[in-house]
Amino acid sequence: MIDRRSFLASGALAAALGAAPRIAFASAAGEQRFLFVIQRGAADGLHSLVPLADPGLRAARAALVDGLEEPVKLDSLFSLHPALVNAAALFRDRQALFLHAVATTYRDRSHFDAQNLLETGGIRPYAERSGWINRMLDLLPGARAMALAQAVPMALRGDHPVASYAPTRRAGPTPDLAARVASLYAGDRQLHDLWSQATQTAELVDDLSVGNGRGGKALGDLAARLLAPADGARVMMVETGGWDTHTAQKGRLAAQLGGLDALIGALKAGLGPAWDRTLVVVATEFGRTVAVNGTGGTDHGTAAVAMLFGGKVRGGRVLADWPGLRQSDLHEGRDLRPTQGLEDVIAGAVAGHFALDPEEVGRRLYPSIDRMKPLSGLIHAR
Amino acid sequence: MPLRSIAINRFGLGGRPDEDPPADPRRWLREQFASFEPTPAAFSAIPTRAQVADKLAAYADERPDSGKRDDPEKVEALQMARRRLRRNAQDQYRALAGARARAAVLSKAPFIERLVHFWANHFAISVDKQTTVGFGGLLEVEAIRPHVLGRFADMLGAVEQHPAMLLYLDQVQSVGPESVLGLRAAQRRGVGRVPGLNENLAREILELHTLGVRSGYSQADVTEFARALTGWSIAGVRRGPAARIIGDRARPGTFVFVEDLHQPGTRTIMGRHYGQKGFAQGAAILGDLAASPATAHHIATKLARHFVADNPPPALVQRLTATFLDSGGDLRSIYSTLIAAEEAWVPGPAKFKTPWEWSISALRALGSTGLADNQMADLLAELGQPTWRPGSPAGYDDTAPSWAGSDGLVKRVEAAERLAQRLGGGLDPRSLCDKILPGVLTQQTADAVARAESLAQGLALFLVSPEFLRR
């Protein structure tokens, strides 16, 4: 693995993007850029875009809500987590649009199966062989696609060639994995002791949550440098992990959101004028339980939040057919009930951004979903 | 632990997603006697012995004579030649180490492949010695693999005549004091500067390769054996006093016996007299060592330690020793005793995997066809077990305390995360678990894997689970 700095310095960047002629000018994507940020692990929408005015919220998770210092009020119902500084600024500038109570068609609680559906756009796990972003390239001839990831993620796999690049060389396992390893070794004396020693001596770091968003900023910087050039990538996916906050959610999610926020901020800054031609979609595989659990965290849930950022996003709004948080309102008595299909959000945003026919986009990205209703009005007309 | 899981993991190198666990575990192991490939496809493009020897010989040719060593031009030329040699040898080493790993990752006879690794570590060389860097891997290919299912004596003979061993343990420097060359040198240079006996190989053969340490031989036996071995050398690599005598009479890198270096006379080792002339003398001693009860016990102990427990059960060691002696060192017979032994099939983890074992089993579990040579080398170096570089002729230790360390564990977790992300590509760890470790996973591990936040994370957790770290 090469590290990011030497990668950028060595001119390998140009090689990774290909020395091809400036074909991007002729593509349907043209100057339009698309970035999908996946939040692997089920990000807690209720703690990101907080329905602070819903009385059910505090009833179910006072421990989490009370820990929020100065959430940013967006409208009569919703406030934004205070770590989302750049996102709040973009919201004020009407370049950030948030959607709540959103979910894919998936209604079970396995990360793997849910991520597979989020990425393939199918309705049965592992039934679809390609990813919706790769199929989106059918509609954008000539657009170059790339993943900031160790390997090409499912969403980008398919007929069109896609490059992948791992942005950082880690100094150790990610904190989330490290925490899981610690509990995995709880019953094994030898390994438990070894692991305890190790974690006392080593500082284990993560891409996104490291150093007050430094990791997120680095990702955003890199994404911008790859997306900005005239012959740069036009379609990109960024992997983020660490969202599976079963324990100690308050601090962990603050760090995660801080990292995500730094990513968005760095991306906008790095893209400069191209930000006006960029759409960022942030989504996760499912949400988390409304109630806080016994370890200061939340468990696998259903509906979550999706975020759209970009210069031409019809932002400054929260779109939600709010289902409520009373016990009787909840899906299976525990989760935020989905009232908006994520697929319709994505198809609508993609169609608006690239000025494509929404029906066509819906069919191409989500061929196995019968009644697609791509959301209109998410993006300003070009 | 069900028998099929023991067969795959304790005897083999770990399961692959594209292979089903064996229905009859013991039979599966025995069948590998027939299916093992001494030269699998992974080795099709490795450097040959002649290529390695030619590089060494070319370097030797460029060395200035001792008289001209203060000439700055010559010194610089020598340094350049040295760098070139190092680079060439390093490339050859990496190609060989990479091929070894690929063969292990892909092997359909992983039990026998594991035995190859066992024997290569028993007859360890270490590539931190310049002259053995290029030859190091060839020892395993040329002396171990062809004999892994044969007789111990044949493997021993092939190893001790291999250039890697003769160079690593300084045998090519050894000169019989009363040999033709020894006497001539004494006359010309006077005592003190005379090349003489080097006991390194003789000592390690007794201590490490055959009888075992403190098994009853004395220093006098070591010296006598070293005298008997004088004359064992290699053509074409121009190291040691033999170089000029050997000349061009054999292809570079081949074993030669140089009569003019051999100490004449009868040798006495552990009370037994050896009156043979020339090469036959050393060979006769080696033959006796290979058949010695001490050797049988030494090998039996190491095999039982490798397959059964860090502290092997004495009863099993005894039975393996008996098989060794009864069969005349027939390795298949010995392995068969091991396969039949109840002690080897005790459920529950018996061994903590070495970094090598863990890496190979992880790559197999991920269905990989192997990493690029440099990536594999980096991985093993990072985890603390670079191939053929144990740093001593004793080889890598084969017990848990050497490998179950906190830093090593963190590095495995880190490597698991990286490998899972890079190679996991759509593998579902939930279904994988049952193929790789059938019937072994605890509920705790199964839950941790199933609750991971991504497939890649689930795979990583599986690869560092207590069940996967041991065999």
Query: With bands split at pLDDT 50, 70 and 90, how would you rate the model's confidence at A127?
Result: confident
Mean local confidence (pLDDT), B124-149 = 93
pLDDT at res. B192? 57
Closest CB from A150, A170, A195 relative to B422: A150
Mean local confidence (pLDDT), A168-172 = 59
How many angstroms separate the CA of residue A253 from the nearest CA in chain B?
15
pLDDT tens digits, residue range B331-345? 999 999 999 999 999
pLDDT at A23 over 70: no
Collect all residues of chain A within an 8 Å Cβ-Cβ radius of residue B379: none
pLDDT tens digits, residue range A69-107? 899 999 999 999 999 999 999 999 999 999 999 999 999
- Provide the token pair at A184: 């995995």
**Distances, alpha carbon B426 to alpha carbons B17, B72, B367, in Å:** 12, 60, 11
Q: Read off the DSSP letter of residue A154.
A: G
pLDDT at res. A17? 40
Contact A1 B442 (CB under 8 A): no
Contact A180 B428 (CB under 8 A): no
pLDDT at A211 over 90: no
Report d(CA B98, CA A12) in Å as an integer.
25
pLDDT tens digits, residue range B247-279? 667 888 999 999 999 999 999 999 999 999 999
How many angstroms separate the CA of residue B441 from the nearest CA in chain A?
12
Report d(CA B217, CA B205) in Å as an integer.
12
pLDDT tens digits, residue range B377-425? 999 998 989 999 998 899 999 999 888 887 789 889 999 999 999 998 8
pLDDT tens digits, residue range A338-355? 999 999 999 999 999 999
Looking at this predicted complex, what is its ipTM?
Answer: 0.86
How many angstroms separate the CA of residue B422 from the nearest CA in chain A?
5
- Spatial CA neighbour of B55 closest among B85, B96, B80: B85
- Spatial CA neighbour of A215 closest among A242, A193, A196: A242
Contact A173 B414 (CB under 8 A): yes
Report residue A49: phi and psi, to 5°.
-110, 95
Query: With bands split at pLDDT 50, 70 and 90, how would you rate the model's confidence at A5?
Result: very low
Report d(CA A270, CA A35) in Å as an integer.
14
Better-predicted residue by pLDDT, B131 or B441: B441
- Spatial CA neighbour of A295 closest among A48, A61, A71, A114: A61
pLDDT at A222 over 70: yes
Closest CB from B405, B406, B453 relative to A111: B453
pLDDT tens digits, residue range A39-66? 998 999 999 999 999 999 999 999 999 9
Collect all residues of chain A within an 8 Å Cβ-Cβ radius of residue B407: 198, 201-202
Query: Which of B278-292, B356-370, B385-399 has the least mean pLDDT?
Result: B385-399
pLDDT at B206 over 90: yes
Query: With bands split at pLDDT 50, 70 and 90, how would you rate the model's confidence at B212?
Result: very high
| CB A362, CB A380: distance < 8 Å | no
Torsion of CA B16, B20, B25, B28, to 10 degrees: -80
Query: Which of B4-13, B18-27, B60-69, B459-468 has the least mean pLDDT?
Result: B60-69
**Distances, alpha carbon B105 to alpha carbons B14, B113, B459, in Å:** 9, 10, 18
pLDDT at res. A203? 39
pLDDT tens digits, residue range A250-283? 998 999 999 999 999 999 999 999 999 999 999 9
How many angstroms separate the CA of residue A154 from the nearest CA in chain B?
8
**Angle at which helices B406-423 and B455-463 pack, to 10 degrees?**
140
Closest CB from B454, B460, B466 relative to A185: B466
Which residue type does A309 have?
F
For residue B185, the surrounding DSSP H or E stretch is helix B180-189
pLDDT at B326 over 90: yes
Mean local confidence (pLDDT), A298-311 = 96
Contacts 24+ apart (CB under 8 A), A353-357: A353/A32, A353/A34, A353/A279, A353/A310, A353/A312, A353/A379, A354/A28, A354/A29, A354/A32, A354/A34, A354/A139, A354/A140, A355/A381, A355/A382, A356/A139
Report d(CA B445, CA B181) in Å as an integer.
67
| CB B20, CB B108: distance < 8 Å | no
Q: Is B442 in CB contact (< 8 Å) with chain A? A: yes
For residue A50, the surrounding DSSP H or E stretch is strand A49-50
Closest CB from A40, A173, A197 relative to B413: A173
Query: With bands split at pLDDT 50, 70 and 90, how would you rate the model's confidence at A235?
Result: very high
Contact B424 A151 (CB under 8 A): yes
- Spatial CA neighbour of A30 closest among A272, A339, A353, A341: A353
How many angstroms separate the CA of residue A94 from the nearest CA in chain B?
33
pLDDT at res. A213? 67
pLDDT at res. A207? 53
The length of chain A in residues reads 382
Report d(CA B393, CA B3) in Å as an integer.
35
For residue A148, list its beta bridge partners.
Answer: A238
- Spatial CA neighbour of A99 closest among A51, A54, A150: A51
Mean local confidence (pLDDT), A154-162 = 89
Longest dimension (CA), chain B: 80
For residue A49, list its beta bridge partners.
Answer: A80
pLDDT at res. A2? 32
Binding-face residues of A in 276-315 toward B, CB within 8 A: none
pLDDT at A370 over 70: yes
Query: With bands split at pLDDT 50, 70 and 90, how would you rate the model's confidence at B123?
Result: very high
Report d(CA A246, CA A291) in Å as an integer.
12
Closest CB from A149, A184, A197 relative to B461: A184
- Provide the token pair at B444: 């705790």
| CB B195, CB B276: distance < 8 Å | no
First to last CA, chain B: 10
Query: Which of A25-29, A306-310, B354-358 has the least mean pLDDT?
Result: A25-29
pLDDT at B16 over 90: yes
Query: Which of A192-206, B207-221, B316-330 has the least mean pLDDT?
Result: A192-206
| CB A65, CB A75: distance < 8 Å | no
pLDDT at B103 over 90: yes
Query: With bands split at pLDDT 50, 70 and 90, how would you rate the model's confidence at B363?
Result: very high
| CB B459, CB A150: distance < 8 Å | no
CA A296, chain centre distance (Å): 23
Closest CB from A151, A194, A244 relative to B404: A194
Average pLDDT, chain A: 87
CA A26, chain centre distance (Å): 29
Mutate to test the interface with A, among B413, B422, B433, B459 (most CBs of A within 10 A): B413
How many angstroms separate the CA of residue A80 from the nearest CA in chain B?
24
